[in-house]
Amino acid sequence: MNSEYREIASKLAEIAIIPVIKLDNPEQAAPLAEALVKAGLPAAEVTFRTDAAARSIGIISKEFPDILTGAGTVLTIDQVKAAVDAGSRFVVSPGFNPRVVDYCLDKGIPVYPGVNNPSGIEAALERGLDVLKFFPAEASGGIKMINAMSAPYGTVRFMATGGINASNLVSYLESPYVSACGGSWMVQGELISSGRFDEIERLSAEAVNLVKSWRNK
Ligand code: 3PG
């Protein structure tokens, strides 16, 4: 796999938490990014669930170059193009769409498709991808599922996402098969829409501190 795929995966592993962000309005992008920076959480997965995604990625990647900014919920090749044109450094999708994955591989764009079963893992391995999103994590059996499913696929690392929050974050990170966790718990939609960026900063800092305390244990 190309070095950028590895480099981004290892940066995300170092940060350990990937805020999964849904912005309705690109004007929310800068204050949100500022809250993440202040909290010491320099990663953002901006989801293509709204029309504001590409413009928001553009604002964050331009004004906050220290944030590792990627696109989430990427379901189509057109969305990959829009994400990358806007400055997205990586692409994440909820499932394994061979067309999207193959397009990214062809263009050298780091892509982390979602899987939650052995067939998805093997489709990814077949293409040289061994860092994958595990989605939806909790509903798919959580950490127990990841550990059981990893027995035959020991080289695969998961970015677990879906149902993760401050209370179960560390239980995922403790698994040798989990490289990072994604989630929206620190960047919830209501907090963004009501402009409560101070609360976003507080929840993000809390998440960062959980990782720090776990690492220093
Ligand atoms: C995602 O798109 O990865 C998930 O919707 C995030 O899951 P969460 O909202 O349960 O954290």
**Does residue 62 have an active-site annotation?**
no
Q: Is residue 94 predicted with pLDDT exceeding 90?
A: yes
Whole-number pLDDT of residue 47 = 98
Q: Strand pairing partners for 17?
A: 181
Amino acid at 69: T
Residues 57, 87: contact at Cβ < 8 Å?
Answer: yes
pLDDT, mean of residues 58-63: 98
What percentage of the chain reaches a pLDDT higher than 90?
99
Whole-number pLDDT of residue 2 = 80
Amino acid at 4: E
Task: Count CB-CB contacts under 10 A for residue 196.
Answer: 15
Band (59; pLDDT cuts 50, 70, 90): very high
Whole-number pLDDT of residue 217 = 86
pLDDT, mean of residues 21-43: 98
Q: Is residue 1 predicted with pLDDT exceeding 80?
A: no
Whole-number mean pLDDT of the chain?
A: 97
Catalytic member of 34, 38, 133, 144:
133
- How many angstroms separate the alpha carbon of residue 94 from the centre of ligand 1? 9
Catalytic member of 22, 27, 45, 138:
45
pLDDT, mean of residues 42-55: 98
- How many angstroms separate the alpha carbon of residue 162 from the centre of ligand 1? 4
pLDDT, mean of residues 149-169: 97
Q: Is residue 174 predicted with pLDDT exceeding 80?
A: yes
Domains of the chain: 3-210 (3.20.20.70)
Q: Is residue 24 predicted with pLDDT exceeding 90?
A: yes
Rounded distance between C-alpha atoms, residue 44 and residue 217, angstroms: 27
Residue among 104, 89, 108 at smallest CA distance from 45: 89
Ligand 1: which residue has its CA nearest to atom 4?
162
Whole-number pLDDT of residue 16 = 98
pTM of the model: 0.96
**Does residue 45 have an active-site annotation?**
yes
Query: What is the per-residue burial (b if ≥16 Cβ within 10 Å, else e) of 13-26?
Result: eebbbbbbbbbeeb
**pLDDT tens track for 96-124:** 999 999 999 999 999 999 999 999 999 99
Whole-number pLDDT of residue 27 = 97
